[in-house]
A and B are shown apart, each in its own frame.
Chain A
Protein backbone atom coordinates (compact mmCIF):
# COMPACT_ATOMS: atom_id res chain seq x y z
CA UNK A 1 0.00 0.00 0.00
CA UNK A 2 2.76 2.38 0.91
CA UNK A 3 4.19 2.49 -2.60
CA UNK A 4 0.77 3.19 -4.10
CA UNK A 5 0.02 5.99 -1.70
CA UNK A 6 -1.08 9.16 -3.38
CA UNK A 7 -0.77 12.44 -1.54
CA UNK A 8 -4.18 13.87 -2.33
CA UNK A 9 -3.31 17.15 -0.73
CA UNK A 10 -0.80 17.69 -3.48
CA UNK A 11 -3.74 18.09 -5.83
CA UNK A 12 -5.62 20.38 -3.50
CA UNK A 13 -3.49 23.26 -4.72
CA UNK A 14 -5.04 25.04 -7.72
CA UNK A 15 -1.65 25.26 -9.44
CA UNK A 16 -1.09 21.50 -9.49
CA UNK A 17 -4.69 20.67 -10.27
CA UNK A 18 -4.98 23.08 -13.18
CA UNK A 19 -3.28 20.78 -15.75
CA UNK A 20 -4.98 17.70 -14.23
CA UNK A 21 -8.37 19.38 -14.68
CA UNK A 22 -7.59 19.75 -18.35
CA UNK A 23 -6.85 16.04 -18.78
CA UNK A 24 -9.90 14.95 -16.80
CA UNK A 25 -12.13 17.46 -18.56
CA UNK A 26 -11.04 16.43 -22.03
CA UNK A 27 -11.40 12.69 -21.43
CA UNK A 28 -14.77 13.23 -19.77
CA UNK A 29 -15.90 15.30 -22.75
CA UNK A 30 -14.97 12.50 -25.17
CA UNK A 31 -16.75 9.91 -23.01
CA UNK A 32 -19.80 12.19 -22.73
CA UNK A 33 -20.10 12.64 -26.50
CA UNK A 34 -19.81 8.90 -27.14
CA UNK A 35 -22.24 7.88 -24.39
CA UNK A 36 -24.84 10.51 -25.18
CA UNK A 37 -24.68 9.62 -28.88
CA UNK A 38 -25.26 5.94 -28.10
CA UNK A 39 -27.91 6.81 -25.53
CA UNK A 40 -29.82 9.11 -27.86
CA UNK A 41 -29.66 6.55 -30.68
CA UNK A 42 -30.99 3.86 -28.37
CA UNK A 43 -33.69 6.05 -26.92
CA UNK A 44 -34.97 7.15 -30.31
CA UNK A 45 -34.52 4.07 -32.49
CA UNK A 46 -33.94 0.99 -30.33
CA UNK A 47 -36.28 1.43 -27.39
CA UNK A 48 -39.82 0.25 -28.24
CA UNK A 49 -42.81 2.55 -28.30
CA UNK A 50 -44.65 2.61 -25.02
CA UNK A 51 -48.06 0.96 -25.39
CA UNK A 52 -49.74 3.49 -23.14
CA UNK A 53 -47.87 6.73 -23.69
CA UNK A 54 -46.89 6.39 -27.34
CA UNK A 55 -43.76 8.15 -28.60
CA UNK A 56 -44.05 11.02 -26.18
CA UNK A 57 -42.58 8.99 -23.36
CA UNK A 58 -39.13 9.20 -25.00
CA UNK A 59 -38.59 12.51 -23.26
CA UNK A 60 -37.88 10.58 -20.05
CA UNK A 61 -34.49 9.58 -21.49
CA UNK A 62 -33.46 13.17 -20.90
CA UNK A 63 -35.83 14.00 -18.09
CA UNK A 64 -34.97 11.26 -15.59
CA UNK A 65 -31.16 11.49 -15.93
CA UNK A 66 -31.39 15.27 -15.65
CA UNK A 67 -33.40 15.02 -12.43
CA UNK A 68 -31.00 12.48 -10.99
CA UNK A 69 -28.00 14.62 -11.85
CA UNK A 70 -29.59 17.77 -10.39
CA UNK A 71 -30.03 16.03 -7.04
CA UNK A 72 -26.70 14.24 -7.14
CA UNK A 73 -24.73 17.38 -7.97
CA UNK A 74 -26.20 19.21 -4.99
CA UNK A 75 -24.96 16.48 -2.67
CA UNK A 76 -21.54 16.49 -4.34
CA UNK A 77 -21.37 20.26 -3.90
CA UNK A 78 -22.23 19.89 -0.23
CA UNK A 79 -19.46 17.31 0.17
CA UNK A 80 -16.95 19.66 -1.47
CA UNK A 81 -18.22 22.46 0.75
CA UNK A 82 -17.70 20.34 3.86
CA UNK A 83 -14.20 19.36 2.72
CA UNK A 84 -13.44 23.00 2.07
CA UNK A 85 -14.57 24.00 5.55
CA UNK A 86 -12.74 21.14 7.26
CA UNK A 87 -9.40 21.26 5.45
CA UNK A 88 -9.56 24.93 4.48
CA UNK A 89 -8.66 24.08 0.89
CA UNK A 90 -9.39 26.64 -1.78
CA UNK A 91 -9.85 24.06 -4.51
CA UNK A 92 -12.80 22.38 -2.77
CA UNK A 93 -14.80 25.59 -2.74
CA UNK A 94 -13.84 26.23 -6.35
CA UNK A 95 -15.09 22.74 -7.19
CA UNK A 96 -18.46 23.47 -5.58
CA UNK A 97 -18.57 26.80 -7.37
CA UNK A 98 -17.91 25.19 -10.76
CA UNK A 99 -20.55 22.52 -10.25
CA UNK A 100 -23.36 24.90 -9.29
CA UNK A 101 -24.39 26.19 -12.75
CA UNK A 102 -24.43 22.65 -14.15
CA UNK A 103 -26.67 21.48 -11.31
CA UNK A 104 -28.99 24.44 -11.78
CA UNK A 105 -29.20 23.78 -15.51
CA UNK A 106 -30.06 20.13 -14.90
CA UNK A 107 -32.76 21.14 -12.41
CA UNK A 108 -34.16 23.56 -14.97
CA UNK A 109 -33.91 20.97 -17.75
CA UNK A 110 -35.75 18.49 -15.59
CA UNK A 111 -38.59 20.97 -14.99
CA UNK A 112 -38.66 21.98 -18.65
CA UNK A 113 -38.77 18.44 -20.04
CA UNK A 114 -41.18 17.46 -17.29
CA UNK A 115 -43.65 20.09 -18.35
CA UNK A 116 -43.22 19.11 -22.03
CA UNK A 117 -43.98 15.55 -20.99
CA UNK A 118 -46.88 16.61 -18.78
CA UNK A 119 -48.72 18.50 -21.54
CA UNK A 120 -49.51 15.46 -23.73
CA UNK A 121 -49.70 12.95 -20.85
CA UNK A 122 -51.59 14.83 -18.16
CA UNK A 123 -53.01 17.57 -20.39
CA UNK A 124 -51.36 20.34 -18.42
CA UNK A 125 -48.01 22.10 -18.36
CA UNK A 126 -47.73 22.14 -14.62
CA UNK A 127 -49.02 19.96 -11.82
CA UNK A 128 -48.26 20.58 -8.15
CA UNK A 129 -46.96 17.07 -7.92
CA UNK A 130 -44.61 16.33 -5.03
CA UNK A 131 -41.59 15.60 -7.20
CA UNK A 132 -42.09 18.59 -9.47
CA UNK A 133 -42.48 20.90 -6.50
CA UNK A 134 -39.38 19.62 -4.74
CA UNK A 135 -37.41 19.88 -7.98
CA UNK A 136 -38.53 23.50 -8.27
CA UNK A 137 -37.38 24.17 -4.71
CA UNK A 138 -34.06 22.51 -5.48
CA UNK A 139 -33.71 24.87 -8.44
CA UNK A 140 -34.31 27.81 -6.06
CA UNK A 141 -31.67 26.44 -3.68
CA UNK A 142 -29.15 26.40 -6.55
CA UNK A 143 -30.05 29.98 -7.45
CA UNK A 144 -29.72 31.03 -3.83
CA UNK A 145 -26.27 29.45 -3.59
CA UNK A 146 -25.06 31.17 -6.74
CA UNK A 147 -26.52 34.52 -5.70
CA UNK A 148 -24.89 34.35 -2.27
CA UNK A 149 -21.56 33.30 -3.79
CA UNK A 150 -21.47 36.20 -6.17
CA UNK A 151 -22.55 38.75 -3.55
CA UNK A 152 -19.18 38.57 -1.79
CA UNK A 153 -16.30 40.70 -2.97
CA UNK A 154 -13.80 38.60 -1.08
CA UNK A 155 -13.90 35.13 -2.67
CA UNK A 156 -12.61 33.34 0.44
CA UNK A 157 -15.44 34.74 2.57
CA UNK A 158 -17.86 33.85 -0.21
CA UNK A 159 -16.47 30.31 -0.17
CA UNK A 160 -17.13 29.81 3.49
CA UNK A 161 -20.53 31.52 3.61
CA UNK A 162 -21.82 29.59 0.63
CA UNK A 163 -20.39 26.36 2.05
CA UNK A 164 -22.45 26.90 5.22
CA UNK A 165 -25.51 27.53 3.05
CA UNK A 166 -24.89 24.31 1.11
CA UNK A 167 -24.63 22.29 4.31
CA UNK A 168 -27.82 23.85 5.68
CA UNK A 169 -29.46 23.11 2.35
CA UNK A 170 -28.39 19.49 2.23
CA UNK A 171 -29.82 18.88 5.71
CA UNK A 172 -33.05 20.51 4.55
CA UNK A 173 -33.47 18.82 1.19
CA UNK A 174 -34.85 15.52 2.58
CA UNK A 175 -37.14 17.40 4.97
CA UNK A 176 -38.43 19.52 2.12
CA UNK A 177 -38.87 16.47 -0.07
CA UNK A 178 -40.89 14.49 2.46
CA UNK A 179 -42.95 17.45 3.62
CA UNK A 180 -43.88 18.26 0.04
CA UNK A 181 -44.77 14.64 -0.57
CA UNK A 182 -46.96 14.55 2.50
CA UNK A 183 -48.58 17.86 1.60
CA UNK A 184 -49.42 16.52 -1.82
CA UNK A 185 -50.88 13.21 -0.72
CA UNK A 186 -52.94 14.95 1.92
CA UNK A 187 -54.41 17.23 -0.71
CA UNK A 188 -55.16 14.96 -3.62
CA UNK A 189 -55.05 11.37 -2.48
CA UNK A 190 -53.30 9.19 -5.02
CA UNK A 191 -50.81 10.98 -7.25
CA UNK A 192 -49.66 10.10 -10.71
CA UNK A 193 -46.36 8.28 -10.59
CA UNK A 194 -43.73 9.74 -12.85
CA UNK A 195 -41.49 6.74 -13.42
CA UNK A 196 -42.64 3.15 -13.58
CA UNK A 197 -39.23 1.55 -13.43
CA UNK A 198 -40.42 -1.90 -12.45
CA UNK A 199 -42.47 -2.34 -15.59
CA UNK A 200 -39.88 -0.88 -17.90
CA UNK A 201 -38.54 -2.65 -20.94
CA UNK A 202 -34.88 -3.68 -20.70
CA UNK A 203 -33.74 -1.57 -23.64
CA UNK A 204 -35.47 1.46 -22.13
CA UNK A 205 -33.67 0.93 -18.86
CA UNK A 206 -30.31 0.44 -20.56
CA UNK A 207 -30.81 3.52 -22.72
CA UNK A 208 -31.66 5.53 -19.63
CA UNK A 209 -28.60 4.28 -17.76
CA UNK A 210 -26.34 5.11 -20.70
CA UNK A 211 -27.85 8.57 -20.86
CA UNK A 212 -27.27 8.97 -17.13
CA UNK A 213 -23.62 7.99 -17.46
CA UNK A 214 -23.34 10.36 -20.41
CA UNK A 215 -24.81 13.22 -18.39
CA UNK A 216 -22.43 12.31 -15.61
CA UNK A 217 -19.44 12.57 -17.94
CA UNK A 218 -20.83 15.82 -19.34
CA UNK A 219 -21.11 17.27 -15.85
CA UNK A 220 -17.52 16.34 -15.07
CA UNK A 221 -16.30 17.77 -18.38
CA UNK A 222 -18.15 21.07 -18.00
CA UNK A 223 -17.30 21.41 -14.32
CA UNK A 224 -13.61 20.89 -15.09
CA UNK A 225 -13.66 23.51 -17.85
CA UNK A 226 -15.40 25.93 -15.53
CA UNK A 227 -12.99 25.04 -12.76
CA UNK A 228 -10.05 26.01 -14.97
CA UNK A 229 -11.65 29.39 -15.59
CA UNK A 230 -12.39 29.85 -11.91
CA UNK A 231 -8.80 28.97 -11.00
CA UNK A 232 -7.39 31.40 -13.56
CA UNK A 233 -9.73 34.16 -12.47
CA UNK A 234 -9.08 33.77 -8.78
CA UNK A 235 -5.37 33.05 -8.99
CA UNK A 236 -4.69 35.75 -11.54
CA UNK A 237 -2.19 37.46 -9.28
CA UNK A 238 -0.34 34.22 -8.54
CA UNK A 239 3.09 33.73 -10.04
CA UNK A 240 2.33 30.60 -12.00
CA UNK A 241 -0.65 32.13 -13.77
CA UNK A 242 1.30 35.23 -14.72
CA UNK A 243 4.15 33.07 -15.93
CA UNK A 244 1.78 30.97 -18.03
CA UNK A 245 0.04 34.04 -19.46
CA UNK A 246 3.43 35.59 -20.18
CA UNK A 247 4.56 32.54 -22.03
CA UNK A 248 1.38 32.71 -24.05
CA UNK A 249 0.32 29.13 -23.35
Chain B
Protein backbone atom coordinates (compact mmCIF):
# COMPACT_ATOMS: atom_id res chain seq x y z
CA UNK B 1 0.00 0.00 0.00
CA UNK B 2 2.83 2.38 0.90
CA UNK B 3 4.56 1.31 -2.26
CA UNK B 4 1.60 2.30 -4.41
CA UNK B 5 1.46 5.61 -2.57
CA UNK B 6 5.12 6.17 -3.37
CA UNK B 7 4.68 5.35 -7.04
CA UNK B 8 1.67 7.60 -7.45
CA UNK B 9 3.56 10.50 -5.92
CA UNK B 10 6.62 9.78 -8.03
CA UNK B 11 4.61 9.49 -11.22
CA UNK B 12 2.70 12.72 -10.64
CA UNK B 13 5.84 14.60 -9.72
CA UNK B 14 7.58 13.39 -12.87
CA UNK B 15 4.67 14.57 -15.00
CA UNK B 16 4.51 17.90 -13.20
CA UNK B 17 8.25 18.51 -13.57
CA UNK B 18 7.96 17.96 -17.29
CA UNK B 19 5.40 20.72 -17.49
CA UNK B 20 7.01 23.22 -15.20
CA UNK B 21 5.09 26.21 -16.52
CA UNK B 22 1.98 25.06 -14.62
CA UNK B 23 3.82 25.36 -11.32
CA UNK B 24 4.97 28.85 -12.13
CA UNK B 25 1.55 30.00 -13.28
CA UNK B 26 0.07 29.25 -9.86
CA UNK B 27 2.98 30.91 -8.13
CA UNK B 28 2.86 34.04 -10.29
CA UNK B 29 -0.89 34.29 -9.83
CA UNK B 30 -0.35 34.22 -6.06
CA UNK B 31 2.28 36.94 -6.24
CA UNK B 32 0.18 39.16 -8.50
CA UNK B 33 -2.94 38.89 -6.35
CA UNK B 34 -1.01 39.75 -3.20
CA UNK B 35 0.72 42.65 -4.96
CA UNK B 36 -2.58 44.10 -6.14
CA UNK B 37 -3.89 44.86 -2.66
CA UNK B 38 -1.49 47.70 -1.83
CA UNK B 39 -2.43 49.29 -5.17
CA UNK B 40 -6.08 49.17 -4.22
CA UNK B 41 -5.73 50.11 -0.57
CA UNK B 42 -2.80 52.50 -0.50
CA UNK B 43 0.83 52.17 0.54
CA UNK B 44 0.49 53.03 4.27
CA UNK B 45 2.86 50.59 6.06
CA UNK B 46 0.65 50.43 9.15
CA UNK B 47 -2.44 49.47 7.17
CA UNK B 48 -0.49 46.99 5.11
CA UNK B 49 0.95 45.31 8.18
CA UNK B 50 -2.57 45.01 9.53
CA UNK B 51 -4.05 43.37 6.43
CA UNK B 52 -0.99 41.30 5.48
CA UNK B 53 -2.04 37.99 7.09
CA UNK B 54 -5.49 38.12 5.52
CA UNK B 55 -4.26 39.17 2.10
CA UNK B 56 -1.54 36.52 1.87
CA UNK B 57 -3.93 33.85 3.08
CA UNK B 58 -6.72 34.81 0.69
CA UNK B 59 -4.16 34.86 -2.10
CA UNK B 60 -2.98 31.38 -1.16
CA UNK B 61 -6.61 30.20 -1.02
CA UNK B 62 -7.35 31.45 -4.52
CA UNK B 63 -4.08 30.21 -5.98
CA UNK B 64 -4.47 26.70 -4.60
CA UNK B 65 -8.06 26.66 -5.80
CA UNK B 66 -7.02 27.57 -9.33
CA UNK B 67 -4.51 24.74 -9.39
CA UNK B 68 -7.17 22.20 -8.40
CA UNK B 69 -8.67 21.87 -11.84
CA UNK B 70 -5.56 20.12 -13.12
CA UNK B 71 -5.55 17.63 -10.26
CA UNK B 72 -7.61 14.89 -11.91
CA UNK B 73 -8.54 16.26 -15.32
CA UNK B 74 -5.55 15.01 -17.33
CA UNK B 75 -5.78 11.51 -15.82
CA UNK B 76 -9.51 11.53 -16.41
CA UNK B 77 -9.12 12.51 -20.04
CA UNK B 78 -6.55 9.86 -21.02
CA UNK B 79 -8.13 7.06 -18.97
CA UNK B 80 -5.38 6.71 -16.36
CA UNK B 81 -7.85 7.48 -13.63
CA UNK B 82 -10.06 4.61 -14.68
CA UNK B 83 -7.09 2.25 -14.56
CA UNK B 84 -6.30 3.51 -11.08
CA UNK B 85 -9.83 2.76 -9.94
CA UNK B 86 -9.55 -0.73 -11.40
CA UNK B 87 -6.37 -1.66 -9.52
CA UNK B 88 -6.76 -4.01 -6.55
CA UNK B 89 -5.21 -1.34 -4.31
CA UNK B 90 -7.57 0.54 -2.01
CA UNK B 91 -8.40 3.85 -3.62
CA UNK B 92 -7.77 6.11 -0.60
CA UNK B 93 -3.94 5.76 -0.55
CA UNK B 94 -3.78 6.38 -4.29
CA UNK B 95 -5.87 9.49 -3.79
CA UNK B 96 -3.65 10.66 -0.93
CA UNK B 97 -0.65 10.16 -3.21
CA UNK B 98 -2.17 12.34 -5.90
CA UNK B 99 -3.05 15.04 -3.40
CA UNK B 100 0.42 14.96 -1.84
CA UNK B 101 2.06 15.30 -5.25
CA UNK B 102 -0.32 18.10 -6.11
CA UNK B 103 0.50 19.90 -2.89
CA UNK B 104 4.24 19.53 -3.51
CA UNK B 105 3.98 21.30 -6.85
CA UNK B 106 1.21 23.82 -6.09
CA UNK B 107 1.09 24.33 -2.31
CA UNK B 108 4.71 24.11 -1.25
CA UNK B 109 5.91 26.83 -3.69
CA UNK B 110 3.33 29.18 -2.16
CA UNK B 111 4.70 28.46 1.30
CA UNK B 112 8.27 29.05 0.12
CA UNK B 113 7.52 32.36 -1.58
CA UNK B 114 5.31 33.68 1.25
CA UNK B 115 8.11 35.24 3.38
CA UNK B 116 9.05 37.38 0.40
CA UNK B 117 5.49 38.63 0.12
CA UNK B 118 5.38 39.14 3.87
CA UNK B 119 8.43 41.37 3.58
CA UNK B 120 6.61 43.46 0.98
CA UNK B 121 4.03 44.07 3.67
CA UNK B 122 6.69 44.90 6.23
CA UNK B 123 5.92 41.97 8.51
CA UNK B 124 8.38 41.51 11.40
CA UNK B 125 10.33 38.27 11.76
CA UNK B 126 7.91 36.56 14.19
CA UNK B 127 5.06 37.36 11.82
CA UNK B 128 6.93 35.83 8.89
CA UNK B 129 7.65 32.70 10.87
CA UNK B 130 4.01 32.34 11.90
CA UNK B 131 3.00 32.91 8.28
CA UNK B 132 5.26 30.15 7.00
CA UNK B 133 4.21 27.65 9.66
CA UNK B 134 0.52 28.42 9.25
CA UNK B 135 0.75 28.06 5.46
CA UNK B 136 2.74 24.86 5.88
CA UNK B 137 -0.04 23.40 8.04
CA UNK B 138 -2.93 24.97 6.15
CA UNK B 139 -2.20 24.50 2.45
CA UNK B 140 -2.24 20.65 2.60
CA UNK B 141 -5.75 20.92 4.07
CA UNK B 142 -6.70 23.22 1.22
CA UNK B 143 -5.45 20.62 -1.26
CA UNK B 144 -7.35 17.83 0.52
CA UNK B 145 -10.66 19.69 0.74
CA UNK B 146 -10.20 21.10 -2.73
CA UNK B 147 -9.61 17.64 -4.15
CA UNK B 148 -13.14 16.70 -3.05
CA UNK B 149 -14.48 19.56 -5.11
CA UNK B 150 -12.20 18.74 -8.03
CA UNK B 151 -13.39 15.12 -8.01
CA UNK B 152 -17.04 16.14 -7.77
CA UNK B 153 -16.83 18.56 -10.70
CA UNK B 154 -14.69 16.27 -12.84
CA UNK B 155 -15.89 16.25 -16.44
CA UNK B 156 -18.60 18.85 -15.91
CA UNK B 157 -18.99 21.68 -18.37
CA UNK B 158 -18.92 24.57 -15.92
CA UNK B 159 -16.32 22.86 -13.74
CA UNK B 160 -14.08 25.80 -12.86
CA UNK B 161 -16.62 28.27 -11.53
CA UNK B 162 -18.61 25.53 -9.87
CA UNK B 163 -15.48 24.31 -8.13
CA UNK B 164 -14.99 27.74 -6.57
CA UNK B 165 -18.59 27.82 -5.37
CA UNK B 166 -18.28 24.39 -3.75
CA UNK B 167 -14.84 24.70 -2.24
CA UNK B 168 -14.49 28.28 -0.99
CA UNK B 169 -17.09 28.08 1.81
CA UNK B 170 -15.39 24.93 3.07
CA UNK B 171 -12.04 26.76 3.15
CA UNK B 172 -13.30 29.25 5.73
CA UNK B 173 -12.02 27.53 8.91
CA UNK B 174 -8.52 27.18 7.43
CA UNK B 175 -8.53 30.85 6.45
CA UNK B 176 -9.67 31.92 9.89
CA UNK B 177 -7.10 29.93 11.82
CA UNK B 178 -4.32 30.55 9.29
CA UNK B 179 -4.65 34.31 9.15
CA UNK B 180 -5.53 34.31 12.85
CA UNK B 181 -2.26 32.62 13.76
CA UNK B 182 -0.24 35.38 12.11
CA UNK B 183 -2.41 38.08 13.56
CA UNK B 184 -2.25 36.67 17.09
CA UNK B 185 1.53 36.44 16.84
CA UNK B 186 1.78 40.05 15.66
CA UNK B 187 -0.42 41.31 18.48
CA UNK B 188 1.70 39.47 21.03
CA UNK B 189 -0.94 36.93 22.03
CA UNK B 190 0.96 34.02 20.51
CA UNK B 191 -0.37 31.98 17.62
CA UNK B 192 0.13 28.52 19.12
CA UNK B 193 -3.58 27.84 19.66
CA UNK B 194 -4.38 28.71 16.06
CA UNK B 195 -1.54 26.58 14.74
CA UNK B 196 -2.72 23.63 16.78
CA UNK B 197 -6.23 24.03 15.42
CA UNK B 198 -4.76 24.09 11.90
CA UNK B 199 -2.84 20.91 12.64
CA UNK B 200 -5.98 19.27 14.04
CA UNK B 201 -7.98 20.21 10.95
CA UNK B 202 -5.19 18.83 8.77
CA UNK B 203 -5.19 15.50 10.59
CA UNK B 204 -8.97 15.23 10.45
CA UNK B 205 -9.12 16.03 6.75
CA UNK B 206 -6.25 13.66 6.04
CA UNK B 207 -8.40 10.86 7.46
CA UNK B 208 -11.81 11.86 6.11
CA UNK B 209 -11.19 13.67 2.83
CA UNK B 210 -9.67 10.69 0.92
CA UNK B 211 -12.87 8.71 1.52
CA UNK B 212 -14.99 11.50 0.05
CA UNK B 213 -12.56 12.01 -2.84
CA UNK B 214 -12.56 8.30 -3.63
CA UNK B 215 -16.36 8.16 -3.56
CA UNK B 216 -16.59 11.23 -5.79
CA UNK B 217 -14.09 9.76 -8.27
CA UNK B 218 -16.17 6.60 -8.51
CA UNK B 219 -19.19 8.72 -9.38
CA UNK B 220 -17.20 10.70 -11.94
CA UNK B 221 -15.92 7.64 -13.80
CA UNK B 222 -19.25 5.87 -13.81
Total residue contacts A-B, CB cutoff 8 A: 68
Nearest Cβ on chain B to A244's Cβ, whole angstroms: 30
The tally of residues in A whose CB lies under 8 Å from a CB in B reads 26
| Cβ A168 vs Cβ B148 within 8 A | yes
Min CB distance, A5 to chain B, in Å?
A: 33
Determine whether the beta carbon of B158 is less than 8 Å from that of A144: no
A114 to B152, CA, bound (A): 33
User: Which residues does chain B contribute within 8 Å of A152, judged by CB atoms?
Assistant: 156
Q: Does A167 touch B at the CB level, under 8 Å? A: yes
Report which of A137, A151, A167, A183 forms a contact with B156, defined as CB distance below 8 A.
A151
Main secondary structure of the interface of B (DSSP, over half): helix
CA distance A175 to B204 in the complex (A): 11
Known: A157-B219, A164-B215. A144 touches B165 (CB 8 A): yes
Q: Count residues of B near A (Cβ-Cβ below 8 Å).
A: 27
Point out the residue from B157, B166, B169, B219 that lies within 8 Å of A137, measured CB to CB: B169
- A165 proximity list for chain B (CB < 8 A): 148, 152, 166
Contact flags (1/0) for B140-161 with A, using CB distance below 8 Å?
0000000010001100111000
Contact A151 to B157, CB < 8 A, known contacts A137-B169, A183-B180, A186-B184:
yes
How long is the Cα–Cα vector from A173 to B162 in the complex, in angstroms?
19
A169 near B170 (CB under 8 angstroms)? yes
Q: A151-B153, A151-B158 known; A161 and B216 CB under 8 Å?
A: yes
A160 within 8 A of B: yes
The answer to whether B173 and A161 have CB atoms under 8 Å apart is: no
- Interface presence of B208 (CB below 8 A): yes
Q: Known contacts A179-B172, A179-B177: does B153 contact A148 (CB below 8 Å)? A: yes
| A172 is an interface residue with CB less than 8 A from chain B | yes
Q: Which residue of the partner chain, among B165, B176, B208, contacts A140 with CB atoms under 8 Å?
A: B165
- Known pairs A140-B169, A151-B158, A186-B184; A164 contacts B219 (CB<8 A): yes
Q: Please, could you name 12 A-B residue pairs with CB atoms under 8 Å apart, sorted by A?
A: A137-B169, A137-B172, A140-B168, A144-B165, A152-B156, A164-B219, A165-B166, A172-B170, A176-B169, A176-B170, A176-B173, A180-B172
